[in-house]
Amino acid sequence: MDLNYSQEELSFRDEVRSWLEANLPQDLRDKMARYDHLSRDDLVRWHKILAKKGWVAPAWPKEWGGTGWNVVQRYIFEEELGYVGAPPLIPFGLTMCAAVLLQFGTDAQKKRFLPRIYDCDDFWCQGYSEPGSGSDLASLKTRAIREKEHYIVNGQKIWTTLAHYADWIFCLVRTDPSGEKRQEGISFLLMDMKSPGITVRPLILMDGAHEVNEVFFDDVKVPVENLVHQEGKGWTVAKYLLGYERMNTGRIGESKRQLAKLKKFAAPMMGDLRFRDRLSRLEVELMALEITNLRFLDRMRRTGQPPGADVSMLKIKGTGIQQGLTELMMQASDPSASDDFADAIRKRYLSMRKTTIYAGSNEIQRNIIAKMTLGL
């Protein structure tokens, strides 16, 4: 096992870092530094800058616009994005839907959707969670009944991130309720958000932000050609997708940037031994998380296989570290301060409470590790 970067990989990191420093617009950099809300235009603008450079979809095959980078180079690129403070590349199209289409989609589906995802001509969201079916995703109830060349979809999704921005949504729906196992009879559909019968309602989070939504489907007609993979085999698609989703939840580069910011902001607190101990523990945990991530990368580099169930470790530890950093930032701030930055710190603290819940709650991730990795 080799956890060190080669000289070529270090040179690649320097190239990426220099380009990002020179090409990240200052107004977007400032918004990220202030924890400001990012509009759809902000997100699309940064996406298109990277697309023009040819760096927006490194993991894609070269024939569809990928860079040809190996798994370590892709990891370096993702972490440098976080470390420089770039706006997030929204994963629902680029990482999730694209990975599914490349693995399971027809040639017609790839030609129709992938170029528009690459150029961000279509903004995507994910329709997985439902009331009562969050981490227990296989209990979903949204129904899709086939009528000739369409599916008729009825049901509800919840906590749908950025659905109010989205042009398209990929959804898990139940096409056959008669299966002995709940994972049977689920299908994966692509749905145009402009379709009649789709209603999006905002859910305001405790930090005051409009980030997630309820999405309702009332007799929504979806063409049969928008079914990905086989009818009733959507659970196979969902499992494939979730491994890639959880590989990116560690956000090590972002946490490194926040740690450096915390050290600078909290300098007056360094005389407090308890505070300094908590900060040191978080820094050690972040270093250990990075080494764990590199272990996964080394395995993927050697085997060419996608991440397994044990990738859930990255999600558990990564989100815990993210929350810990915001807790220390809150502790170091003046609770009576009323300036914009102090308000932003409080909002970020509240916003980061959700990280241990999304992409499968950390409690569920521990169950996955116990069952699939430890055999308990």
pLDDT band at 304 (very low <50, low <70, confident <90, very high): low
Same domain as 228, residue 277: no
From CA 332, how far away is CA 267, in angstroms rounded? 9
Residues paired with residue 191 on neighbouring β-strands, in sequence order:
169
- As a whole-number percent, the residues of the chain with pLDDT over 90 amount to 65
Average pLDDT over residues 310-334: 89
Same domain as 293, residue 253: yes
Average pLDDT over residues 355-371: 82
Same domain as 277, residue 351: yes
More confident residue, 84 or 247: 84
* Least trusted range by pLDDT, from 97-111, 239-253, 317-331: 239-253
Residue 2 has pLDDT above 70, yes or no: no
In a domain, 24, yes or no: yes
Same domain as 227, residue 168: yes
Mean residue pLDDT of the chain comes to 90
Residue 243 has pLDDT above 70, yes or no: no
Last residue of a domain, one of 183, 200, 232: 232
- Cβ-in-10-Å burial (0-12, 13-18, 19+) of 59 comes to middle
pLDDT band at 307 (very low <50, low <70, confident <90, very high): low
CA nearest neighbour of 166 among 55, 44, 51: 44
Alpha-carbon Rg for the chain, nearest whole angstrom, is 21
Please enumerate in sequence order all residues whose Cβ is within 8 A of that of 276, keeping only pairs 6 or more positions apart, or say none: 269, 270
- Per the structure, the count of domains in the chain is 3
pLDDT of residue 302: 74
The verdict on whether 78 is a catalytic residue reads no
Token pair, residue 17, equals: 């870092």
Last residue of a domain, one of 204, 232, 260: 232
In a domain, 207, yes or no: yes
In a domain, 103, yes or no: no
CA nearest neighbour of 56 among 127, 9, 120, 107: 120
pLDDT of residue 371: 79
pLDDT of residue 153: 98
Q: Answer whether 135's CB lies under 8 Å from 178's CB.
A: no
Average pLDDT over residues 238-261: 80
Token pair, residue 376, equals: 């308990």
Residue 306 has pLDDT above 90, yes or no: no
pLDDT band at 321 (very low <50, low <70, confident <90, very high): very high
pLDDT of residue 369: 81
Same domain as 361, residue 253: yes
Same domain as 368, residue 260: yes
Q: Answer whether 333's CB lies under 8 Å from 270's CB.
A: no
Set 79, 80, 211, 245: catalytic member? 245
Q: What is the pLDDT of residues 187-203, one digit of tens each?
A: 999 999 999 999 999 99
Same domain as 201, residue 151: yes
From CA 331, how far away is CA 181, in angstroms rounded? 48
Same domain as 286, residue 215: no
Last residue of a domain, one of 70, 89, 108: 89
pLDDT band at 362 (very low <50, low <70, confident <90, very high): confident
pLDDT of residue 298: 74
Same domain as 339, residue 290: yes
pLDDT of residue 311: 76
Q: What is the pLDDT of residues 68-83, one digit of tens each?
A: 998 889 889 988 999 9
Average pLDDT over residues 131-145: 88
CATH number at residue 193: 2.40.110.10
* The pTM of the whole model exceeds 0.85: yes
Distances (CA, A) of 227 to 112, 218, 223, 295: 13, 18, 8, 36
* Least trusted range by pLDDT, from 51-60, 174-183, 311-320, 363-372: 363-372
Same domain as 309, residue 273: yes
Same domain as 288, residue 172: no
Torsion of Cα atoms, 75 then 79 then 82 then 87, to 10°: -30
From CA 176, how far away is CA 363, in angstroms rounded? 29
pLDDT of residue 184: 93
In a domain, 154, yes or no: yes
pLDDT band at 246 (very low <50, low <70, confident <90, very high): low
Average pLDDT over residues 297-321: 77
Average pLDDT over residues 151-162: 97
pLDDT of residue 62: 96
In a domain, 48, yes or no: yes
- As a whole-number percent, the residues of the chain with pLDDT over 70 amount to 95
pLDDT band at 247 (very low <50, low <70, confident <90, very high): low
Same domain as 351, residue 259: yes
In a domain, 221, yes or no: yes
pLDDT of residue 301: 67
Q: What is the pLDDT of residues 189-242, one digit of tens each?
A: 999 999 999 999 999 998 889 999 999 999 999 999 999 999 999 999 988 887
In a domain, 239, yes or no: no
Please enumerate in sequence order all residues whose Cβ is within 8 A of that of 327, keeping only pairs 6 or more positions apart, or say none: 349
Token pair, residue 345, equals: 């710190």
CATH number at residue 338: 1.20.140.10
Q: Answer whether 146's CB lies under 8 Å from 224's CB.
A: yes
pLDDT of residue 333: 87
In a domain, 42, yes or no: yes
* Least trusted range by pLDDT, from 134-143, 208-217, 260-269: 134-143
Q: Which domain holds residue 128?
A: 124-232
